[in-house]
């Protein structure tokens, strides 16, 4: 349950508090016992920082809905492990071929390609081990939430979107195809934390559908923003390579729509996300999610 001091905390304090919980819990769930190369490589990428926005979205949505308890952190950390595996694999030479991630050399640059493939596999398996351990037969919502996360990460979500992305190098996508790809590749794993928290909170149908639409909009906004940042920031500002989309002949919101139109689309998508939150503001404290959404427009 939220305490008075939680409600009075600034956005930054609350984000820092969620992040700290996640940073403390991740080493526990990834396991500290093994010192094999694959475990070191997995830990190198998992503990390299990152915004932790997916587990923060999960914990914040749970907070909004009054869900607390020990089952939250396994879900939050499982989601972050899946995300980190996807980054390790995405950075491989056979995929997006990147040298820099989270401000440091990518996993395969430090541990070699084979070990980076295995580190990603290790994190994905550990994520599902963590989610399975959190399933409580007396509380079927735990199974439902875990299944939702699995779907979001799989062929009709992130992996499916990545496959479309891979086929699209030097083959321009239409605007509709681009949107579909991003909803799957990036959007699915950003809306899943919101939707999983809603399931675990047992929220009613109305709240559930509003927050689900919020999650989908924030997922899309995140990708449009990523395309804009790739085109406008330097590598040191990004903590990863910049200008790669253009170099690789990739269709992005900037290459298909132009920078100005992409910025307009980001604004509209953020408005759609905040519009959903506004529908809940009389019954729930959505201020943290509201600020997080607005910051997508202004922060890199
Ligand atoms: C390899 C199966 C597989 C999937 C990869 C998500 C993804 C699919 C690739 C990442 C490509 C990319 C840069 C997409 C743009 C949006 C995005 C997911 C950015 C990285 O996420 P952040 O900004 O990163 O949350 P941090 O480091 O803060 O966690």
pLDDT in tens, 50-80: 999 999 999 999 999 999 999 999 999 999 9
CB 283 within 8 A of CB 271: no
Confidence of residue 131 (pLDDT cuts 50, 70, 90): very high
240 lines ligand 1 (CB under 6 A): no
Distance 79 CA to ligand 1 centre (A): 13
Mean pLDDT over 126-142 rounds to 97
| pLDDT value of position 3 | 53
Which tokens is 181 given? 């790809």
230 lines ligand 1 (CB under 6 A): no
- Which of 90, 105, 243 to mutate for ligand 1's pocket (most ligand atoms within 8 Å of CB)? 90
Confidence of residue 183 (pLDDT cuts 50, 70, 90): very high
Q: How many residues does the chain have?
A: 300
In tens, the pLDDT along 233-289 reads 666 666 666 666 666 677 889 988 999 999 999 999 999 999 999 999 999 999 999
pTM for the complete prediction?
0.93
Distance 96 CA to ligand 1 centre (A): 11
| pLDDT value of position 162 | 94
Confidence of residue 49 (pLDDT cuts 50, 70, 90): confident
226 lines ligand 1 (CB under 6 A): yes
What single string gives the DSSP state of each residue in 240-284? S-SSHHHHTT---HHHHH-HHHHHHHHHHHHHHHHHHHHTTTTTS
296 lines ligand 1 (CB under 6 A): no
Q: Is residue 20 over pLDDT 90?
A: yes
| pLDDT value of position 1 | 46
Q: Is residue 36 over pLDDT 50?
A: yes
CB 224 within 8 A of CB 265: yes
């Amino acid at each position: 349950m939220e305490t008075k001091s939680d409600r009075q905390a600034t956005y930054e304090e609350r984000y820092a508090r969620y992040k700290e919980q996640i940073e403390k819990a991740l080493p526990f769930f990834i396991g500290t016992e093994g010192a094999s190369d694959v475990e070191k490589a997995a830990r190198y990428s998992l503990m390299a920082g990152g915004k932790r926005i997916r587990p923060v979205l999960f914990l914040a949505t749970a907070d909004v809905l009054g869900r607390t308890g020990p089952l939250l952190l396994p879900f939050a950390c499982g989601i972050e492990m899946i995300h980190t595996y996807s980054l390790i694999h995405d950075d491989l030479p056979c995929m997006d071929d990147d040298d820099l991630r989270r401000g440091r050399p990518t996993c395969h640059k430090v541990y070699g390609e084979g070990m980076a493939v295995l580190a990603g596999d290790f994190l994905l398996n550990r994520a599902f081990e963590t989610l399975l351990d959190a399933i409580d037969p007396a509380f079927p919502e735990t199974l439902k939430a875990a299944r939702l996360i699995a779907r979001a990460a799989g062929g009709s979500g992130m992996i499916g979107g990545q496959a479309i992305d891979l086929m699209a190098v030097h083959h321009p996508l239409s605007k509709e195809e681009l949107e579909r790809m991003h909803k799957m590749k990036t959007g699915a794993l950003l809306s899943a934390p919101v939707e999983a928290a809603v399931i675990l909170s047992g929220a009613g149908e109305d709240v559930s559908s509003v927050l689900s639409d919020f999650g989908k909009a924030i997922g899309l906004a995140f990708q449009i923003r990523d395309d804009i940042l790739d085109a406008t920031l330097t590598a040191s500002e990004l903590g990863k390579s910049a200008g790669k989309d253009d170099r690789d002949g990739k269709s992005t919101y900037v290459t298909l729509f132009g920078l100005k139109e992409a910025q307009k689309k980001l604004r509209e998508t953020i408005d759609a996300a905040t519009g959903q939150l506004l529908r809940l503001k009389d019954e729930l404290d959505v201020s943290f999610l509201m600020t997080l959404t607005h910051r997508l427009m202004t922060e890199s």
